[in-house]
Structures are given as structure tokens and as C-alpha cells.
Structure 1
Amino acid sequence: MESIARIGRVAHATLGAQAYDALRDLLVAGGLAPGERVSLRMLAERLGTSVMPAREAVSRLVADEALEVLPNRAVRVPVITLATFRELTRVRIAVEGFAAAEAARAVGPDDLAAIRIHDAAFRSEVLAPEPDLERGMRANRDLHFAVYRAAGLPSLVTIIEGLWLRIGPVLNLDLRSSPRRLAEGGAQVHHARLVAALAAGDAEGARAALAADIAGSAGFIETTGRLAP
């Protein structure tokens, strides 16, 4: 519920679209966990809208398979089964690994500078005595998507966004598992290798670093026992 409070109020123009964007961003960033429930009224209050724009946003996210509506009209983040999680992980490694390789071939100075800024933001939370997990998750998301955008293939970014809509809440189980997980998960090592490969134009190195990052997180999530059988 605290994550919902942080997304802020939206302006009064195109409220449905803005509500959709705000909730979509929250899900992609891992701000909600699988099985977490929210009501339309509560979403509307947090967004500063009437119930109608919140309902419109939820309907679109239900169509995206990012949310589901329960019989009592509560809205829930879907619970992903272990089999589906493994399927999504395999697809992510293939698709996002390809994006990282393409980014290494196409990355420019501005792209690389942005990627390094997000990497530094994530590393700052990793090294902090009391890391802010919300900022850490968002820095992780921002780093990944800065890499994918650097590939110069907008259609590919759209595909990856669809994957993250479904997987983002599950990543919540990784980085939110404990304050120490952020520092001990090894993501910062994979990120460093990814950034170095991008700077060197090493496509296969970038692909391998990205794949290792996804696989490392996925392996830990499976050990939590919180995925549905």
C-alpha cells in the first residue's frame, strides 16, 4: 500500500491514460507484489481521480494480463506459477539478451552516459548502510531500459515492457526479500560487466552479463518458495 501512495496524483487531462501510465510504471518497477490486492476506490484516491479513470486503467492492465479483477471487484496482481515464471525467465534471457547485444553495437555517448548514471544510482543503494529498496528497484529498472532503448529498436522495447509488466511484481520477491538482498544479490557485479561490455562494443559480453543478471535473480526467487506450484 505504501508503494501506491508514492505514485502521486495525476493531472486532470486524459486521466484514464495517465492513470494507466502511473499504474503500469508501478508494476514494471516492482512496486506491487504478486497477490497484492487494491480497490478501485483506493486507487482513485491515490491517483486523485474519480473511480472511472482508475477503472479504465485497470481494464487496460487486465487486458495486458498485468492485473486481474476478483469476484468481489477487488483488483489483484496475478500470482505467477513456478512453470510460468520459468517460461518468462527463458523468454527474457532470449529477448533482453538480444537487446543488450544490439545495444552494444549501437550505443552512443549519450546513451552510455545515461546508463552509467542509472548504474551509479543502483550501486549507491547497494552500498548504503540502509538501502532504500524502492529506489533500488527503480534504478534497476531504469538501468535495464536505458540499455534496451540504446539498441535503437522501439518495437523491441515495447515487447520487453510487456514482459516486465508480468515479471515486475515477481522481481519484488527478490529485491524486497530482505535489506541485505540488495547488497548480496550480485546484481551490481552483472551490471558492471554489462556496462563495461557496452562501452567496449562487446555484443556477446553484454548478452552474457544481462543473461547472468536475469538468471541470478530468477534462481534466488525460486528459492523463496513464494511462487505458486
Structure 2
Amino acid sequence: MIKMSSKLKKVDRSTLSDRVHNELSSLLISGQLLPGQMFSLRSLADTLGTSAMPVREAVGRLVAERALEILPNRAIRVPLMTVSRFLELRTIRIELEGLATAQAALNRNQRQLNRMLDLQRLFEEARQSKEPNGQVAVRLNKNLHFCVYGAAGMPILFDMIEALWLQIGPVLNYDLAINSERLMNRQAHIHHKNMVQGIKMKRPEQAAAALVQDLMSASELIMEKNVLSPD
């Protein structure tokens, strides 16, 4: 079992299972929980400072969302990411996130565009730093993507994308956090820049194409690093 006390925050009892679900979801999406990492219901409840019931409910929701799994010995595990599962998720992400990006180019407002431009600039600054911080890059990358998807103005689509990131986050963002090659790779910055430029100019095809290129280049680097489990 891997201790999680260094990553989880105490949860106010009044928030119960929704707050636990949100906290665990954030850790999964940001790559702070790793594929294959295991923990128990009791240790998780103790770390969060709550009873077992809200944790059990939150874990049950995440199991249904394919973000966690319960093993025969009742341990809770972040699922391993196989090559075939990774490729299937990539195919679905290209369709859904590409649609959201195209819609963002049509529906975004000035405040949302300004936020995208700020996040794009901050990501480039993190990449150019003498000592690039992977955790900062992960946060900026996630915030930029979800800023774009939120600007689409399609809440059901947004929730579907978030569910995909619950599954892909542990391998996608953990690899970005520790892999200096991905962080220093200029392709990510170019794709982000082209995506935001397409949104700025209200060109949905350009924006969606840049998003797809971003997903493809990132996935190819992940597959080259052998961080996926065999089928």
C-alpha cells in the first residue's frame, strides 16, 4: 500500500461524499495518483478525517466512472493503463475534445479568451525555465484545456470530457510531470498556441486540428516511454 497523507487534504465532515469525490477526482486528473497505486478504504478515510461511509460512496462513484477499481482483497487501486485502453481513450478524446474546441472557437467570450492567452503564456514560461517544474506544467496544461472546453458552453460535453480525464489523467499527467522530454518538447507549446489562435480568430477547424495534434504528439511520446501496461 502507498501512503497518501502527503497528497490528500482534510475534508470537512459537512461535505461528505461529494467533497471526497471531488478531492480524489482532482488527484486523478492531475496525475498525483499513479496507475497501479493501491490504498485501503480505512486508510483513505483516516487521511481525509472522515468516516468510512462517505469515502465508500465516493469510491463507488469513481469505480462506476472507471477511474478506480476494487480488487478481490478489497484494496482500492488506480487501474493499470494498457496500450489498447489508452488508444481507445485517445480516439474518444479526439472526437469529444475536438468538438469542444471547435465550439469554443464559436462561443467563447473575451474573458475566457484572455484566460486562455494567460495560461498559454504561463505554460511557455514554465517550459522555458532553466529548471522546468513538471507539476506546474501539469496544472497549467490541465487548466488551459479545461478553460477551452468550458468555453464551448456545452456542460454535458464538458462532463463527458472530465470523465475521460479521470481515466487518462494518472498516466497522461504523471508522465508529463516526470518526463523532461515532454515538458521541453516545443511541439506542445506550438499546438497550444495554434489552438488558442484558432479560438481567438473564431476558426473552429484550425483550433480543433491543433488540439488533435496536441493529443497525438503527447500520446506518441507516452507510448515511446513504455509507461503503459501490455494488454
Distance (whole Å) between structure 2 residues aligned to residue 221 and residue 61 of structure 1: 24
Q: Distance in 1 between matches of 2:75 and 2:131?
A: 34
The gaps in structure 1 that reach 5 residues or longer are none
> TM-score normalized by structure 2?
0.91
Over 3 Å counting, the alpha-carbon distance change for 1:209 and 1:128 in structure 2 is same
- Give the gaps of 5 or more residues in structure 2: none
Please show how residues 26-175 of structure 1 align to structure 2 within 5 Å: 26-175=27-176
Give the RMSD, CA atoms, in angstroms.
1.9
Q: Distance in 2 between matches of 1:129 and 1:78?
A: 34
TM normalised by structure 1 equals: 0.92
Kept in 2: contact 1:88–1:167 (CA 8 A): yes
Q: Deviations over 1:85-143 (max 9, x none)?
A: 11111111111111101100111101111212322332232122223222221211111
Regions of 4+ moved over 4 Å: 1-4
Aligned to 2:193: 192
Matching residue's letter, 1:83: S
Q: 1:185 to 1:32 in 2, by over 3 A?
A: farther
**C-alpha distance in structure 1 between counterparts of 2:187 and 2:210, whole Å:** 11
On the 8 A contact 2:182/2:221 being kept in 1, the answer is: no
Number of equivalent positions: 229
Q: Secondary structure at the match of 2:161?
A: helix
Q: Percent identity?
A: 42
Q: Is the 8 Å Cα contact of residues 96 and 160 (structure 1) preserved in structure 2?
A: yes
1:3, 1:31 within 8 Å by CA — same for their partners in 2? no
Letter in 1 for 2:97: E
Q: Give deviations 1:42-65, integer Å, cap 9, x for gaps.
A: 322332223332222111111111
Query: How far does the alpha carbon of each residue in 1:168-210 deviate from its partner, in whole angstroms, 9 at most, with x for none?
Result: 1120353034234312262122111111111111111100110
Give the aligned residue type for 1:117: D
CA distance in 1, matches of 2:173, 2:36: 12
Write the letter of the residue equivalent to 1:143: L
